[in-house]
Structure 1
């Protein structure tokens, strides 16, 4: 991966040149940047058997800050946030691998409000080739922070895969599952599923990639501004 910013976003924005403001806002996708950051959302939690607050595809959570359980079978009140790899207990919630929020099952939460942070980049959806012998699909040229969804389009086992936590290796996968790897540059499916192509949606890492939609290419201010 390559394509880090040649000049910081802060420096480009602080130049204060009125002749560049319009170009800066357009190249930096300032609307997307302002839409990112901290969010507040109130709504219904999924079916009792799921216990997941499904967030919009363009506003998945990158960090859960807090919240309040409004209606539930038990533990109505302030929400306790725990890490993604923790085992949930009463009154707790955590981010799922796909960027949604899941509650402790026994609490039977039906409505909640959440405070959370999103990534400043909108999700990217790409169709990729999967190497069946290794189950690996490369995210080129954009690296990912979080895999939101994975659908096996062709191969032995097709359909929407269950997304596991980032860093889940081949040995931890089962049939119909996929996971973003630690470097954020590849996604793996179970080798035995023999997947050959897939459609992936993910949160891109800021500052990666030479494509026109990457932050790095837009904020190469030596070339663009």
Structure 2
């Protein structure tokens, strides 16, 4: 966010990192990666003409770009875990954190931080289920070249977001949604419960059936296995 704070932001600027020791994840979690082995970058995005209340739309577009990229190499078992993690089977391959600069009712800038596991094979033991492209394919990749490819997918999805109806993006997001139409376990406060995931609506609420409510906002519930350690 430094470039934004000093009025140096340019839409489409991307900042690559060789190593990340204290990266920020969702809900205050950290993202630690092995130097030179993964994709780690932040992209500056001018969200205009999106409104402040449409922040989830940007999250959908970025998640789909990461999905497009990862699926190209890992195949159809790739999915998007609500709200914006990239999964392969039941294992986490990447994550997205979007930070926004909002003044009054104006959404000025967004910074999309993206981390995707490429060549790393040894992970922090406190992580429950990480996976990398190397573990999936048995191949070694050039993270810089792959990051450039990811930027191409990001550009395509941004164009779609800003120039076409959001309904098409949301339909794709739901099509690739992790565990859709499956029974899963969540934890809400101190109570665990099972429910069936139906999809996600246009404001980012997770829609379910057979749970204590029919929808949840991000942060209201956690996935059952994420609270096991």
Q: Above 0.5 in TM-score?
A: no
**Structure with greater proportional strand content:** 1
Higher relative contact order (CA 8 A, sep 6+): 1
Q: TM-score, normalised on structure 2?
A: 0.27
**Structure with greater proportional helix content:** 2
Q: TM-score, normalised on structure 1?
A: 0.27
Answer with 1 or 2: which has the greater Rg: 1
